[in-house]
Structure 1
Amino acid sequence: MKRAIAAAVAVLGLLAMTVATRPASAADNPYQRGPDPTLASVAATRGSFATAQVSVPSGNGLGGGVIYYPTDTGQGTFGAVAIVPGYSARFADEEAWMGPWLASFGFVVIGIETNSRTDGADARATQLLAALDYLTQRSSVRDRVDPSRLSVIGHSAGGAGALTAALRRPSLKAAVGLAPGSPTGNLSLADDRVPTMFISGQKDTVVTPSYLNGLYSTLPATAQSAWVEITGVDHLFATRANTTEMRTLIPWLKIFVDNDTRYTQFLCPLMDSTGISMYRSKCPHVPPGGPSPSPSITPSPSPSATPSPSPSITPSAGACTASYRTTNSWPGGYQGEVTVTAGGSPISGWTVKWTLGNGQTVSQVWNGTLAANGSAVTVTNASYNGSIPASGTTAFGFLAGGTPSSPSLTCSSRP
């Protein structure tokens, strides 16, 4: 009897040790999937999960498609993403490469064929939402999917469809527009409440950087958002296997679909800018109601409890003015935004200068070109946002080290 009691005590002790040594992050986040990520693992063409696929018949509001899913049954349900191709395209010909790639990182993916190749953005949005409903309610893998953690991706007109789907269903956890283009050009994201990422091509002449700059600017100031522009690629970058695209897209989905802030380190600030010509991001990326970002190789910002400095506006040295505001701050760093406003006449280019305070450094600028010489900072317009109409505006952002302040800005312009 004594031996039996001793054995039971030993077993209970081992169980207690197991519970006590369980990683806190996994215990705090039941949606966390896969091993701790590294820069190499995020850039890999396959994650840690084996995958399988099953065909989707036409009907249920869709033109058919394919579901890709992790075969692991020991980690509970997975978050899901629906993908739709662009105008006149087929998923099987263009985005099918993304299915097993994403599934291997712990997502259930449904790639759909549209009812008609000429369906517009609105119809593609309807079909994305129908795909998620089919996936979670009637598909053969519905028991693998968490219906509360869904997201959408689309390319071109499908990208506009993904953004439209986010407007229609604000319960979505994430939306990604790959060169998202609206045929009428009148899409507004002012009512968007879904964490939204743009991924685009620097040499895209169909959905241009200028168009996307205007679209991105319609997002609410409080929206979780990011914009990645890939160096030297055209409108069709998403139709080919693309590591640069995926090493930014996967962390976005992990953060907002899986509440997995282990991945914040890759985007706040951008850890690897190789092959990326422009990056805009509203850090820190923390899922609504989710845990704070995990410690990482690159410190991840956390919200500041200190009010941001008031915007400063300084008379221009030419026909423009520049105003500054702090959009985020954290211990040892901050994110700022500068708005450039033209005067009573149009301008074709602009330059903003200021002097950094003690301990401040600028590490990254988007929507402009940085030149720093000691504490003197100069930012000139990018190739696509130098022309501003009379009384019009544009903006650039930056990440900096140190404590935020209210810099005295000067703005000069070219007529």
Structure 2
Amino acid sequence: MKIKNRTACTTAAPSPARRRLAMASLAAAGLLCSFTAQAQVAVFQENFTSGLGSFTAAGSATNSSGAARLAGCYGCTDGAITSGPISTVGFSSLSLSFDRVTSGLDIGEGGIAEYSTNGSTWTALETTRATSNGRVTFNLPAAAAGQTGLRLRFRIDANLSSETYTVDNIQLTGISGDGGGTNPHAKGPAPTASLLEASTGPFTYASTNVSSLSADGYGGATIFHPTNVAGPFAAIAISPGYTGTKSTMTWWGERLASHGFVVAVIDTNSIYDQPYQRAPQLMAALRQLVTFSNTSSHPIYRKVDPNRLGVMGHSMGGGGTLIAARDNPTLKAAIPLAPWNTSTNFSSVSVPTLVVACESDSIAPVNSHASPFYNSLPSSTRKAFMEMNNGDHFCVMNGNDFTRIMGKYGVAWMKRFLDNDTRYSPFLCGAQHQADLSNSQLSEYRENCPY
């Protein structure tokens, strides 16, 4: 929230003659200020706790005492830092705040803050010298909203290396388009059928590997995480099936990360691990994601919300998903995919669970696995059952024919229950969902709406 907005909400006491009218005005102003405080959420932030963080450097640009220090240079390149692309899709009323300090600048020199919507044309927000130190806030024009590649740049125009411009605690905030802006977990534009059915969502993402030697309690992982939108994000761990590896499930990691989740697609300790062994490995992976998020040198530093965790898995990994949901009621969502398990009783599960089945599954036949698993879930638990028409046991893996509809429901389920984002409810219960029931790729769908 901007300091100047707080100041604007401070009003002197009215004269007696105008007290009633003034008190009514103050009450209205108080409501307006309260709404604005709720509506402003972080779109992007950088505190330079780990080098220059998400910024790339040119010229003399270094991390000094946890801030970006830019120095001048005579006859060579002055210091500058430029952010990667930042998604402002789904946000309005953007505001940029940062701390800056200049030192030794002469007339005609300055520290410059600017932004670009295309990466080539830059608009200056300010050029400052030593008399303008402190924290500042700038309201960006409406054209900066709704961009997939907004960039920020800070640079110095000076002649000497002793002349510096130091920047820290950069924060870009905006009003989220979540139907009022009151949900801090809601990220991205309002969902549409075409957005959910596309192969990737609104955010760019990166991946990083966890080796078997670095993994704590599981066999290794590839972590997929958003790169052009501020966290923290809900986190999801995904297990492959019997004899499978993480490489069979990467499409889920990519799809979910591009919609604003941190996703660990894991290898298990043994490809022959049973469901009861995969469940604790899913939880171990989630715990390590939280640890990585608390480690300043890790790529997912500050990206994981430890209170919003979910699990997924295929086949025996799906059985492990159900067991993890049963044994860890603090989980927020679960999606077992063509699940296999020796027990069909999950009557104590309270975690919202979407069971995905493959109609022609001969390895985990629907009538003896996915269907009784779903039926055993209590009616008090938010649940759904989705069966892929004529799909075999591998219909949920990479290269399947159901990615549009399956990815749509997988993302919507996680958005609704991990992010508490009710903008996705119509795709699970409402008119959008009803339209999908005639989709030829669905052979059956059950649910206990509303949610």
1:38 to 2:200 alignment:
no
**Inter-CA distance 17–121: structure 2 relative to 1 (3 Å threshold):** closer
Structure 1 segment 91-106 matched on structure 2, within 5 A:
91-92=246-247, 94-106=248-260
The offset of 1:245, in angstroms, is 1.1
Does the CA-based 8 Å contact 2:203-2:229 persist in structure 1?
A: no
1:266 to 2:424 alignment:
no
Residues of 2 paired with 1:48 and 1:9: CA distance? 35
Structure 2 residue aligned with 1:82:
237
Bigger radius of gyration, 1 or 2?
A: 2
Does the CA-based 8 Å contact 1:79-1:147 persist in structure 2?
A: yes
Look up the equivalent residue of 1:216 and give its one-letter code.
Y
The offset of 1:26, in angstroms, is 4.6
1:51 to 2:202 alignment:
no
Residues of 1 paired with 2:325 and 2:35: CA distance? 41
Structure 2 residue aligned with 1:145:
304
Structure 1 segment 13-412 matched on structure 2, within 5 A:
19=36, 22=175, 25-58=179-212, 59-74=215-230, 76-92=231-247, 94-138=248-292, 140=298, 141-182=300-341, 185-211=342-368, 212-241=370-399, 242-269=403-430, 270=433, 271-273=435-437, 274=439, 275-285=441-451
**Inter-CA distance 24–104: structure 2 relative to 1 (3 Å threshold):** closer
Given the two structures, how large is their TM-score scaled by the length of structure 2? 0.57
Residues of 1 paired with 2:258 and 2:420: CA distance? 18
The offset of 1:263, in angstroms, is 0.5
The offset of 1:138, in angstroms, is 3.2
**Inter-CA distance 283–82: structure 2 relative to 1 (3 Å threshold):** same
Residues of 2 paired with 1:96 and 1:229: CA distance? 21
Unmatched segments (≥5 aa) in structure 2: 1-6, 12-28, 40-92, 94-174
SS in 2 for 1:278: strand
Q: Give the share of equivalent positions with the same residue, in percent.
A: 38
Look up the equivalent residue of 1:279 and give its one-letter code.
Y
Structure 1 residue aligned with 2:162:
none
Kindly provide the CA deviation profile for residues 71-103 of structure 1, in whole angstroms up to 9, marking residues without a partner as x. 1243x31111100000111111x1012211110
Kindly provide the CA deviation profile for residues 135-188 of structure 1, in whole angstroms up to 9, marking residues without a partner as x. 001352141010100000000000000110111110000010001111xx2231
Residues of 2 paired with 1:124 and 1:102: CA distance? 21
Residues of 2 paired with 1:45 and 1:282: CA distance? 28
The offset of 1:216, in angstroms, is 1.5
Residues of 1 paired with 2:387 and 2:178: CA distance? 35
Given the two structures, how large is their TM-score scaled by the length of structure 1? 0.62
Residues of 2 paired with 1:123 and 1:17: CA distance? 48
Residues of 1 paired with 2:242 and 2:178: CA distance? 46
Unmatched segments (≥5 aa) in structure 1: 1-7, 286-415
**Inter-CA distance 9–172: structure 2 relative to 1 (3 Å threshold):** closer
Look up the equivalent residue of 1:191 and give its one-letter code.
S
**Inter-CA distance 276–18: structure 2 relative to 1 (3 Å threshold):** same
SS in 2 for 1:221: coil
SS in 2 for 1:165: helix
Matched pairs, number:
274
Look up the equivalent residue of 2:252 and give its one-letter code.
M
**Inter-CA distance 27–209: structure 2 relative to 1 (3 Å threshold):** same
SS in 2 for 1:180: coil
**Inter-CA distance 142–84: structure 2 relative to 1 (3 Å threshold):** farther
Look up the equivalent residue of 2:221 and give its one-letter code.
G
